[in-house]
Amino acid sequence: MSPRQPDHHLVHKSRAAIAKGSKSFALASSLFDRETRERAWLLYAWCRHCDDVIDAQIGGHGHVEPTDDIDTRLANIEGLTRRAIAGEETGDWPFDALGQVTKATRMPARYPLELIAGFAMDARDRTYRSFEDTLDYCYHVAGVVGVMMAIVMGVDPDDRPTLDRASDLGIAFQLNNIVRDIHDDARIGRCYLPDDWLTAADIPPGEFDKPMFARELADVVARMVGEAERYALSARYGTPALSFRSAWAVLSAADIYAGIGREVRHLGPDAWRTRVSTPKAAKLAAVAKALPQAMARHGLYADPTARDGLWTMP
């Protein structure tokens, strides 16, 4: 089968996975040309599957059982991923989907493996003492997905300046996810806010989710949303390297996710009474807003801003 002709059975299953798992990603991916869209679905299916297996939400299609310890789950995922990247048929469809993407795009093996390293950070309850630690996490669970998506969209795997901008967008997405999900994460014993920021805000260790510190927490969150905006702005300067339709999808997704952070910041201490989400009308408005930006990207973003002070992947 030609790398340009993905297995339609895998595409169908991947499309179903994205429709169930992420309405925002599904909407943005609809703006791609067919080839890019199908490859994006295949990549998403593998990412989603690995995340679910790590969280013991599914049984791994016979290869990984939810009762297995976390090290066993990680080892199985890494082993199947390496086999898929090497071009082997694994018999586990999300990994075979990844194999088709990596073959078609010449995607370096380091990127899927770095995402697995990000899953391991969650599984092993890493602590985040500084914002640098938080950014390292954000890269490994989302920035690297941005890099892989850029390659899916046709960016040369050796085009490091554009891949750095793609990483910036993934990091921005994850920072916004963090501020939205603070209390949900706290309920399962996770905190991605840097310890030194919490200390500077006079929030005692382990008390960030307590109601008496809601105002201080809102200040920390506003600071993080500001950082997300810096990374999202940087990412826009990678769009001239993309096709029109890919740039449109990226700019649409950027505005949709930025809306989450803006709303959390706007609500302040009330942000976590209900889970902040982006209404469908707002998503469609973001798509409309991104259209002229994508058309004008070679002028708007022709002279890249410096990335001074931003986290950069190794």
The mean pLDDT of 3-22, rounded to a whole number, is: 73
What's the pLDDT tens digit per position in 58-83? 533 334 445 568 889 999 999 999 99
Residue ranges of alpha helices (H) inside the chain are 8-21, 23-29, 34-54, 70-85, 93-105, 110-123, 131-138, 144-152, 160-180, 182-187, 195-200, 214-236, 244-267, 280-295, 297-300
pLDDT at res. 59: 38
Length of the chain counted residue by residue: 314
> Domains of the chain, with CATH numbers?
1-106 (no CATH), 125-314 (1.10.600.10)
Instruction: Determine what percent of the chain is predicted with pLDDT higher than 90.
Output: 76
Q: Treating both helix axes as pointing N-terminal to C-terminal, what angle do 244-267 and 280-295 enclose, rounded to 10 degrees?
A: 130
Place of tokens 């029109």: 244
pLDDT at res. 5: 59
CA dist 35 → 31, 81, 153, 211, 291 (Å): 11, 22, 9, 49, 20
pLDDT at res. 16: 81
Closest by Cα among 144, 125, 123, 145 to 54: 123
- Would you say residue 215 has pLDDT above 90? yes
What's the pLDDT tens digit per position in 219-272? 999 999 999 999 999 999 999 999 999 999 999 999 999 999 999 999 999 988
pLDDT at res. 1: 39
Answer for the pair 197, 131: CB distance below 8 angstroms, yes or no. yes
pTM for this prediction? 0.92
Cα 257 from Cα 82, distance rounded (Å) = 31
What's the pLDDT tens digit per position in 107-134? 999 999 999 999 999 988 899 999 999 9
What's the pLDDT tens digit per position in 134-148? 999 999 999 999 999
